[in-house]
Amino acid sequence: MSAIRDALLVLRDGTTFEGEALGAEAPGGVATGEVVFNTVLSGYQEVLSDPSYAGQIVTFTYPHIGNYGTTPEDDESRRPACRGVVVREPARRRSNWRATEDLDEWLVRHGVPGIGGIDTRRLTRHLRDHGAVPGAFGTADHATLLAAAQAEPGTDGVDLVSQVTTAEPYVVGADDRPFRVVAYDFGIKTTILRHLSRIARVEVVPAGTPAADVLARNPDGVFLSNGPGDPATLPWAVDNVRGLLGEVPVFGICLGHQLMATALGGTTEKLPFGHHGGNHPVRRLRDGVVEITSQNHNFAVVEGVPGAVVTHRNLNDGVVEGIAAVDVPAFSVQHHPEAGPGPHDSAYLFDDFAELMGRHRGDAEGAA
C-alpha cells in the first residue's frame, strides 16, 4: 500500500478542506479547475471520461467511489479531460468481474490527480450556496494552493472544445445502416456513437469543419454533440450550424443544443452550479410524461428562442431542456438521452432523429 499523502482542497474564496492525495501526482503538487458536484450513484468512470468535464474538478456527492473498479468498455473518450476528482471515501479494493483496474490505477495511468477523505456534503452545500467556483488541490502548502485557485479562470469565456475534439474525421457504424450521419465532435461520448451507429453510418468530424464540407458529404442528417465550456466562445461553430439549418435534419445534445439555439437567434446563460447527475426530472411537454434524465452542463438556453418551441423542461428549476425548430427539420435537448451513465428514459430521441431523417428524405425524393 502506498504511503498516505496529506493534501488540501482550497477554493478561490479561501474555504479549505483537508484530505489525502490519490490518483496521479499533480505537477508541483497543484491541480486547478472549476469545482462542480455530480449526484450519480454509479458510473463514476463514465463521468470522469466524459469530455464535457474539461476544465473542471468533479466532486462526487455519493460517498463511496471506486468499489467496482474500472474497465476499458466504460470509457467515454480516449482519455479523461477533467482536471481532477474529489471523493469522500475511495474504495480500498475493487469487486466486480468486469473490472481490469482499480479506480486509483486508472487515474494514475491517465494522469488525473484526485483527493479523498473530503467532507463532500459540506463542499456540495458550499457550491449550492455560492455556485461552481475555481479551486486548487494537491500536496502543496495552503498559500500556494490559494494563489493557484485565485488565478484559475474557470470555464467562463474559455474555448475548451478545441482541447477535446478529434484531429481527423473517422467513421463508426456499418455501411448497411439506413442513414448517413455526420457528427460534429465538440467532445462526443462513446455511448452517443453507439446509439447513432444503431441507426446510421456515422462520420465524426472535427469541431471546426465548415458547413459546406459537411453538406458536401451528402448526409441524411447532422448531429451536434455534447462538449465542454462556454458556447459564447464558439461563434464559428454557431455559424456552421446556421449554415446547416434548413439544408439537412439536425439533432443536438447538450452543447449541441446550446449551439443550435444560438444559431436560431437565442442566447445562453451560465447556471449557478449547473446540472450534473443521473436523476434530473424533465417533463416532455407534448404529452406531460416525466423522464428521469442524465445531465452534465453549466450553461443553459434562455427562454424564448426565435423560430422554435420548447419541447422539454427541467422540473427542478424550469430550465429549457429541449427545443424544436418550427420552419426547419431540427431539434435538440439539453439532457443526455444516451445515458452513460444514467437512466434510458430519453433514448427514444435517437429514433425520433431517424424518423425525422426518413421524412426529410421522402420529402426530397417527392420533390425530385
Task: Supply the pTM of this predicted model.
Answer: 0.95
- Please state, in angstroms and rounded to a whole number, the distance separating the CA atoms of residues 363 and 120: 54
Q: 338 an active-site residue?
A: yes
Record the cell numbers describing residue 135, joined without a space.
479551486
The one catalytic residue among 76, 291, 321, 338: 338
Instruction: Identify the pLDDT of residue 362.
Output: 77
Instruction: Report whether CATH 3.40.640.10 matches the domain 6-151.
Output: no
Q: What is the pLDDT of residues 130-151, one digit of tens each?
A: 999 999 999 999 999 999 999 9
Q: 312 an active-site residue?
A: no
**CATH architecture for residues 161-367:** 3-Layer(aba) Sandwich (3.40)
Q: Where are the beta strands (DSSP E) in the chain?
A: 6-11, 16-23, 31-38, 56-60, 64-65, 84-86, 89-90, 113-116, 133-138, 170-172, 179-185, 200-206, 221-224, 250-253, 268-284, 290-301, 308-314, 320-325, 330-333
- Please state, in angstroms and rounded to a whole number, the distance separating the CA atoms of residues 76 and 58: 16
Average pLDDT per consecutive 10 residues, the chain (368 residues; last block may be shorter)? 84 97 96 97 97 97 97 96 97 94 97 98 97 97 98 93 97 95 98 97 98 98 97 97 98 98 97 95 98 96 98 97 98 96 95 97 68
- Helix (H) or strand (E) holding 193, with range, is helix 190-199
Instruction: Identify the pLDDT of residue 1.
Output: 45
- Please state, in angstroms and rounded to a whole number, the distance separating the CA atoms of residues 256 and 187: 10
The one catalytic residue among 195, 254, 321, 335: 254
Q: Where are the domains of the chain?
A: 6-151, 161-367
- Please state, in angstroms and rounded to a whole number, the distance separating the CA atoms of residues 59 and 83: 11
Q: 82 an active-site residue?
A: no
- Please state, in angstroms and rounded to a whole number, the distance separating the CA atoms of residues 135 and 213: 40
For 177, phi then psi, to 5°, come to -65, 150
